[in-house]
Amino acid sequence: MGVNNRAYGEYFGITSDEMSSLVSDMARQRVPEEDSSKLDEIIAENFELAVKWFDGYRIGGKDIFNPWSSMNFINNHVCTTIPPRQYWNDTAEHRIMIRLFSEVDDSILNDVKVAYVSGKPIEVSQILDVTPLWKSGQDLDRDELYSLLLFAGYLTADFVEGRCVLSIPNYEVKLNFNDLMQRVYCISIPSVIDLMVHISSKDAVAVKNDLERLMSGGSYLDGWGESRYKSWMHDLFALHGYTFVTEREMGEGWTDLIVKGDGRSPSILFEFKVVEPESDEDLADAVEEGLKQIIDGRYLDGSEMEGAIALSVAFRRKTCEVAFIDPV
């Protein structure tokens, strides 16, 4: 039985009509008589909140709310001052997903990361009708990974003109995914804020220490290679709401990463180099090579990069060296 089977879709969770009735019934019990003139408005606001947090699953053509989270929302949050929270992660088993996300190939996982950060849907060729079995160390192809995430509740599927389109179900799942990614990459918001402050002040030693502290717990980086470090740096900023572009043609070359400024802070241009663990190359030489590439490639030319901060980061295992263009 697949998610596109229309026979039993409404039985997998709470439908929109059912959720609307539940919110309405609870509101009528909790709203005091002196606010009864605002009852319809209060019901609409609470239902809208439920939709944002817990709706979005498409099963058999039906729009379905997560039943466990929805019932907790009804009991604990409707017409109260308590803001909604995640309930889905009380039931989900993260351990397997952490191992899966640590092992799966970056090129396959990247579309999922983009979907969670930007909301961009994923179009796939097929969705399996049976959850694929996965064991640690086993390779998954793209369709198998998406099918596993779909049946685990991290994605939902809609079928449009014969095409299967995957998307993030709701805000609760997006927060849950962010928690999962932070556990995989061992990234915390305070650490990222410290990193950005030190980059803004062009403090190479502090940036080096920040990055090494962030890398220290990440088993994700045990699969060495330049693509791993690039992906880790992309996720570090993406998971905390920064706008960035990758592999951007600038001047006479291609940059690895640009974190865009917001009008109050400048853009930040990164060039990454990776020294293999067994190599005799010095990290200091590699970081200087990165600086030379920025300068020779004229990456900072043009009005778009006016006032930008540029730095080179050279990695070896979970250590690094950092240098800025014209450091102060």
The residue-averaged pLDDT of 145-170 equals 81
The answer for residues whose C-beta is within 8 angstroms of residue 247's C-beta and 6 or more apart is 254, 255, 256
Whether the per-residue pLDDT at 94 is higher than 70: the answer is no
- The more confidently predicted of residues 126 and 282 is 282
This model's pTM is above 0.85: no
Domain boundary among 85, 114, 143: 85
Domain boundary among 129, 160, 180: 180
What is the domain count for the chain? Answer: 3
Residue 4 has pLDDT above 60, yes or no: no
Classified as helix, coil or strand, 256 is strand
CA–CA gap between residue 151 and residue 1 (Å, rounded): 11
Do 175 and 206 lie in a common domain?
no
Task: Classify the C-alpha dihedral 65-70-71-75 as positive or negative.
Answer: negative
197 and 317 within one domain: yes
Residues 270 and 163 occupy one common structural domain: no
100 and 64 share a domain? no
φ, ψ (nearest 5 deg) of residue 180? -65, -45
In the predicted structure, residue 222 carries a pLDDT above the cut 60 = no
**Main-chain dihedrals φ then ψ at residue 242, nearest 5 degrees:** -80, 145
Confirm whether 203 is domain-assigned.
yes
Q: What residue numbers bound the domain in which 151 lies? A: 94-180
Same domain, 207 and 293: yes
CATH number at residue 279: 3.40.1350
Q: Domain holding 127: CATH number?
A: 1.10.10
Q: Measured between alpha carbons, how far is 65 from 307 in angstroms, rounded to an integer? A: 47
Strands of 253-259's sheet, edge to edge?
244-250, 253-259, 268-274, 309-316, 319-324
Same domain? 316 vs 190: yes
Instruction: Determine the pLDDT at residue 174.
Output: 84
Distance CA 157, CA 104 (A): 21
- Do residues 155 and 200 both lie within one domain? no
- The answer to whether 305 and 248 have CB atoms below 8 angstroms apart is no
State whether 123 and 214 are in the same domain: no
What pLDDT is stored for residue 328 in this prediction?
Answer: 36
pLDDT band at 26 (very low <50, low <70, confident <90, very high): very high
Percent of the chain with pLDDT over 90: 25
Considering the domain architecture, whether residues 228 and 293 belong to the same structural domain is answered as: yes
Whether residues 197 and 159 fall in one domain: no
pLDDT computed for residue 202 by the predictor: 93
289, pLDDT greater than 90:
yes
pLDDT category at 1 given cuts 50, 70, 90 is: very low
- Let me know if residue 315 belongs to a domain: yes
Question: Letter for the amino acid at 151?
Answer: F
